[in-house]
Amino acid sequence: MKRLFTLLFGLSLMVMPLMAQDIDMSFVFVDEEGEIIENGATVVRDVAEPYDEGTQVIYSGISVYNMSGSLSDLIRMRYSVKQIDNGIYQICFPITCNSRSEVGDYMTSEGSLMADLQDIQSEWFPTADGTCIVELQIEHVTKSGFPPTVSHKSWGPTMTLKFVKGDVGPGPLTGDVNGDGEVGISDVNALVDLILTGAEFGPSADVNNDGEVGISDVNAVIDIILSAN
């Protein structure tokens, strides 16, 4: 028990910068019914519909809503494709469309909303059964000078889109490092032990799916535990 408290105290020092990050809620994500999506939430979409020339599409139905910002405020979308088994992921925001077929970190162009509520037009065009996972975050930016330069102003809320086509199963539980079917303090302990000892690790240890195992994965597990309580 003493080891656990010591470990948690040390981890709390490491995650303080992450948890202290202020989130600007001037613009938020909303679903098809206009309900605000909680910061950090995951939304699953699994309804594939016919599209042009025999292709299919799974729509996210996610929009951005202006809570208290100005229509002249400039925002853009930071997005990270964490998994894409096939096909392409497309995002159109504010008006420019981008298509991605590989994992990676990307961002849209910047601009102001065309109305208080604007569809992101975020969808996956699968070519076979599989999964596509994308993390989104609203970023407020400013533009100044000539030629104009874009600068970061503040971070808005985040969300994760999980598109699923076909019966691909639930997959491994994110954060379940020790494989016991649950996410808890034991997974934090297991992950820290892996990092400190340099032992060989499996894919479950890369919690944030960035190709590395480190303190950011510990932070991710702690975030999962806290959000579940």
Tracing tokens 């910002």 back to the chain, one arrives at 69
Helical spans, DSSP H, in the chain: 2-19, 185-197, 215-227
pLDDT at 72: 81
Q: From first to last of the 229 residues of the chain, give the pLDDT tens digit.
A: 444 444 444 554 444 343 335 789 999 999 999 999 988 888 999 999 999 888 899 999 999 999 998 878 999 999 999 889 999 999 999 889 999 999 999 999 999 998 899 999 999 999 999 999 999 999 999 988 888 888 999 999 999 899 999 977 666 678 888 777 788 888 888 888 888 877 666 667 888 877 788 888 899 889 888 877 6
- Cis peptide preceding 147, ω within 30 of 0: yes
Specify the pLDDT at position 174.
Answer: 84
Predicted local distance difference test score (pLDDT) of residue 200: 63
Sign of CA dihedral 209, 213, 216, 221: positive
Q: Pairing mode, if any, of strands 74-84 and 130-144?
A: antiparallel
Residue 226 confidence (pLDDT): 86
Please give the pLDDT value at position 18.
36
Residues recorded for the chain: 229
Contact present, 108 and 115 (Cβ < 8 Å): no
pLDDT at 14: 44
**What region does 61 belong to: left with phi over 0, alpha with psi -120 to 50, or beta?**
left
Is the Cβ–Cβ distance between 180 and 204 less than 8 Å?
no
Indicate the DSSP class of residue 188. Answer: H
Among all chains, which residue has been given the structure tokens 């392409």? 88
Q: Name the amino acid, one letter, at 190.
A: A
pLDDT at 197: 78
Tell me the CATH number for domain 172-227: 1.10.1330.10
Contacts of 197 (CB under 8 A, 6+ apart): none
